[in-house]
Structure formats: C-alpha cells, structure tokens
Structure 1
C-alpha cells in the first residue's frame, strides 16, 4: 500500500477551495483503497458508505427505466444522509452500470459541490486520464484527471 492516508488528508485540505470538492482514490483491485478509507473514516469520525449496497437496496423495487431516472436522486439522498463536510464512498461500481445510463463522474461532481467527497474507484491512471474498465467493455470510461483531485499509487505529486 502506498502512503495514501497522508495523501488523502492533503487532498481533503486542497479541495476546500475548489468548486467541486471531489477526490478519487484510484487503484486496481486489492491495492488497499478500502483500508485507506476505513482509516480516514476513523480519523475524521465520518461514515464510510458502501454505494453498491445502499444504492442497490433503493433501486431493487424499481423498473429498469425508473432506475435510470431515479439514480441521481437516490444517490443524492444516500450522500445527503451523511452528516458533516466529508463523505467517504466505497464500492461505487454500480454507478458505471450501463443500464443506469449515468455518467459516474458527473454524479460525483454534482454531489461534491456541497461536501468534500472521497470515492474509491477501481481503475488506473494512464496518460493523464483515469480509466475504468478496458476499452471494449460496456462500462468503459476515461476521464481527464484535471476534472478532479486524484490519489493513486500510479500518480506521484
């Protein structure tokens, strides 16, 4: 595991002056992202939200069309229920589900206008972009890292 805890704390401080206070903790599976978020949650006394679990519970009784329409509102409610200025999100893969027809980064950015959001994301940083999945995969996304703060073992700042 890289020294991510100190890096995340620095990014949280840096985010306070930004319009979108979004920090993505980017790394491949099994790189310690959850452990870092758990440590930050304990240090800042803030909850760590399992997005896959919480959002899927709320989407369960909806039709596919309703799920696509209600996801932004329901996700906003989940994050809004967290008190305080800092929200930690883990297991955000559901946001990339093609059936939900969402842009995960835009959802996260929208929520980070009111609170500092730190989200763990399975992916990699290549050529100044965060990549989720591989190019031929239906959930593939590629975002320039200039659109958010990033902490990753692949990026040295």
Structure 2
C-alpha cells in the first residue's frame, strides 16, 4: 500500500515538474469559435414607424438578446448585467449611453418589466416621435438599446 502511494505521489510530482522541454510540434488547432451572439436590440412591435394611429395609442415593445425584467424592490445598489426595463419618450431622441432617464415628462417608465401600454398613451393629433429606450436597474441608458419611430395621430 505504501509502495502504491509512493508511486502515485511520484507521478503527481513528475507531472507538476517544469523540467521537461516544451514540444517543438505546433499545437493542434483549436476548434472554430462559436459565432458571436446576435446584437441586442429593442423595438416597437406596435405602432410601426410611419403609422397613422388613433389616440389612445396602444404601445407594444419587443427586445432581442436582452432580458426585460422588473426593477428590484427597495434601494438598488448594483445593476444586473444583461437586464433592464422599457422607457418611452414622446417627441424626444434617444439619450446618450450612461445617461439617467428622467422620471418625468416626456418619459414614461415601465419599471415592472411590462412590454405593453394598454389601454394606450394619450397623444394630441398630429405627428409625434416615440422613443423606446432601455434603462438598467438604476434607470441608466444602455448603448444600442434604443429605437425611435414616427407616427401621426389622426384627429
């Protein structure tokens, strides 16, 4: 039994030794890397860009390669990577990445993780720009997760 333990220990020590010269043969090629994950994006399902709509306007949102979740209850001390929630701005452009989305007009927050505003958003007749932007748990914008569409509200 002692002999077996001694042989095993010798093998472990020999395997950890750096005294063996490196092989001069080229390393086997690694398998091809998996293609990158699709780019995350956020978009309006309804209405579509250029649509003529009636008020109240039903808003439905979608997201790809990104998790839409409710903001955690209580004080948020850290953001969860790869997660956020929707915000809609009326007649405003996308905010720069890393900007806190105001909790006031013209922005509406969907902090419960919802993907729809029903019965809809009241808008005055005429042309409007609608901006859908993702915010993290601290309501900070995330690069690339914003879409702006134009709609016309019928009289």
The TM-score range, normalised by the shorter chain, is under 0.3
- Scaled by the length of structure 1, the TM-score of the pair is 0.26
Which one has more relative contact order, counting CA pairs under 8 Å at least 6 apart? 1
Q: Which has the higher helix share?
A: 1
- Scaled by the length of structure 2, the TM-score of the pair is 0.26
Q: Which has the higher strand share?
A: 2
